């Protein structure tokens, strides 16, 4: 049964009427600007809801309204794809890990809708999210004579979604595309909101565009083949929503972390839906990140520096963001906003999710400052950071002493001498 609703509404099936807490206050700080999206008839989380049918969440932005479908085995149902494909040609972009698992199923679904389907599989990993791979996608589009009514479908994680979205935004000045995320991180973050792009050797996501998909199709069964390291990386982004704007959800994550790690279907379904609802609210208020949307980047400026500083090859995005959120919390403490116990709380839930809570020892002060200086949040030569006024209340600010930032970075460099084991990336023995 298909249930349509706006992003501020959850069906009775979810047994949930809730309010979105912004630090428990009536306002949310953005430098000196107050902001708070409001929800209707909300109360606290009563229990973990069950997703035993298809759920639909609408994302509404100035440029486009589109659905996020959540359900079991909906990858096999053409009804979630056909309405969003205007022409008869489709190019599926996937990678060499996801392709063997789900590509044939998606091809069958699209052919049952009388679509002409071609596909391309690229190597797996962040290291391939670059202009070289993008050019390969353009080649494939031209070889198959795709036109402006042709549709690109991203089948995979965040790398596939970002690449495919940017290719769609730029090929013949824009073609439709659909996100089919197969990792937790992609579901709760990169597949929603229209950020697309590729990395540059000097910085992450420095080349890209805001370009919204036609739809996001989440088959929750695809998470069953996700390895533990990728699952943990996705949990970093789930936890982020609680830290920046949804205290109730953070408390729920703290209570249900073991269920999430064990892939409990009810817990994962709720975490995905609530995370997407949080992101939808922010994106709807600020599609192109001219203001409040930047709160979604908590830990990302530090994290992007870690990814770039390690060559986009050894740390997953969620791992780098986790370490970055701890650094942001520590800096917030040094700014006099968080208590020390708040920093410990951030560290504890991330560690429980099997995520690193320290940056790698190779990330020196000089290296951090070099990569952070080319971050997208640098405006007129001034770096802006997302910090925490309190748990659940994020702030975007460039008004901080440079020595506080430097002391924060140096603090973590000193910690490696005391606790070197905390610098090990979980599951480091596994290949990327």
| 289 carries an active-site annotation | yes
300 is catalytic: yes
Task: Compute CA distances 136 → 123, 209, 293, whole Å.
Answer: 12, 18, 31
Task: Catalytic residue, from 304, 358, 367, 384: name it.
Answer: 304
Judge whether 195 counts as a catalytic residue: yes
CA 273, CA 11: separation in Å to the nearest integer? 11
Q: Which of 84, 128, 129, 237 is the catalytic position?
A: 237
Respond yes or no: is residue 237 known to be catalytic. Answer: yes
As a whole number of angstroms, the distance between CA 256 and CA 48 comes to 9
CA torsion 340-344-347-353 (nearest 10°) is -150
**Distance between CA atoms of 306 and 355, rounded to whole angstroms?**
14
Burial of 30 (0-12, 13-18, 19+ CB in 10 A): middle
Cα separation, 25 vs 393, whole angstroms: 9
**Does the annotation count 287 as an active-site position?**
no
211, 194 Cβ separation under 8 angstroms: yes
DSSP element (H, E) containing 95 = strand 89-95
Q: CA-CA distance, 367 to 150, in Å (whole number)?
A: 43
- Asked whether the beta carbons of 117 and 92 are under 8 A apart, the reply is yes
SS3 string, 147-200, reads CCCCEEEEEECHHHHHHHHHHHHHHHHCCCEEEEECCHHHHHHHCCCCEEEEEE
The residue from 84, 89, 293, 384 that is catalytic is: 293
Q: Which of 26, 173, 382, 414 is catalytic?
A: 173
The catalytically annotated residue of 126, 248, 289, 330 is 289
Q: Which is the catalytic residue, given 195, 204, 229, 384?
A: 195
How many other C-beta atoms are found inside a 10 Å radius of the C-beta of residue 424?
11
Report how far residue 413's alpha carbon sits from residue 312's, in angstroms, rounded to the nearest whole number. 21
Active-site pick, 240, 279, 377, 384: 279
Which among 204, 300, 358, 384 is annotated as catalytic?
300
User: Is 84 noted as a catalytic residue in this protein?
Assistant: no
Q: Under a CB-based contact definition with an 8 Å cutoff, are residues 322 and 356 in contact?
A: yes
Q: Decide: residue 193, CB within 10 A, 0-12 exposed, 13-18 middle, 19+ buried.
A: buried
Q: What is the DSSP letter of 25?
A: B
Q: What values do phi and psi take at 431, rounded to 5?
A: -75, 155
Q: How far apart are CA 137 and CA 208, in angstroms?
A: 15
The catalytic residues are: 173, 195, 237, 279, 289, 293, 297, 300, 304, 317
């Amino acid at each position: 049964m298909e249930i349509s609703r706006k992003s501020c509404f959850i069906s009775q099936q979810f047994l949930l009427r809730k309010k979105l807490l912004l630090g428990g206050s009536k306002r949310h700080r953005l430098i000196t600007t107050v902001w708070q999206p409001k929800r209707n008839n909300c109360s606290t989380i009563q229990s973990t809801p069950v997703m035993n049918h298809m759920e639909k969440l609408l994302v509404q932005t100035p440029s486009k309204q589109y659905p996020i479908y959540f359900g079991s085995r909906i990858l096999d149902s053409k009804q979630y794809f056909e309405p969003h494909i205007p022409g008869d040609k489709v190019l599926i972009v996937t990678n060499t890990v996801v392709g063997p698992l789900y590509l044939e199923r998606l091809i069958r679904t699209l052919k049952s809708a009388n679509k002409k389907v071609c596909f391309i599989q690229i190597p797996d990993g962040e290291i391939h999210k670059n202009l070289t791979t993008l050019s390969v996608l353009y080649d494939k589009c031209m070889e198959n004579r795709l036109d402006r009514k042709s549709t690109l479908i991203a089948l995979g994680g965040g790398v596939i979604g970002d690449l495919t979205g940017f290719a769609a935004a730029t090929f013949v000045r824009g073609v439709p595309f659909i996100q089919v995320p197969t990792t937790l991180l992609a579901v709760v973050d990169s597949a929603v909101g229209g950020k697309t792009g590729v990395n540059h050797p000097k910085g992450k996501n420095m080349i890209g565009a805001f370009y919204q998909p036609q739809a996001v199709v989440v088959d929750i069964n695809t998470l069953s083949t996700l390895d533990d390291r990728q699952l943990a990386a996705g949990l970093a982004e789930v936890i982020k929503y609680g830290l920046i704007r949804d205290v109730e959800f953070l408390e729920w994550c703290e209570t249900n972390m073991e269920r999430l790690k064990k892939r409990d279907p009810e817990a994962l379904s709720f975490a995905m839906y609530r995370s997407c609802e949080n992101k939808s609210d922010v994106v709807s208020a600020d599609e192109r990140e001219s203001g409040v949307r930047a709160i979604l980047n908590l830990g990302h400026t530090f994290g992007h520096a870690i990814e770039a500083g390690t060559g986009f090859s050894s740390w997953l995005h969620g791992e780098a963001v986790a370490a970055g959120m701890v650094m942001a919390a520590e800096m917030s403490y040094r700014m006099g906003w968080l208590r020390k116990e708040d920093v410990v709380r951030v560290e504890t839930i991330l560690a429980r999710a099997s995520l690193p809570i320290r940056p790698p020892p190779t990330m020196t002060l000089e290296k951090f400052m070099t990569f952070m200086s080319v971050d997208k949040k640098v405006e007129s030569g001034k770096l802006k950071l997302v910090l925490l006024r309190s748990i659940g209340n994020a702030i975007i600010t460039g008004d901080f002493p440079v020595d506080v930032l430097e002391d924060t970075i140096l603090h973590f460099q000193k910690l490696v001498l005391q606790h070197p084991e905390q610098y090990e990336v979980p599951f480091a023995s596994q290949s990327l």
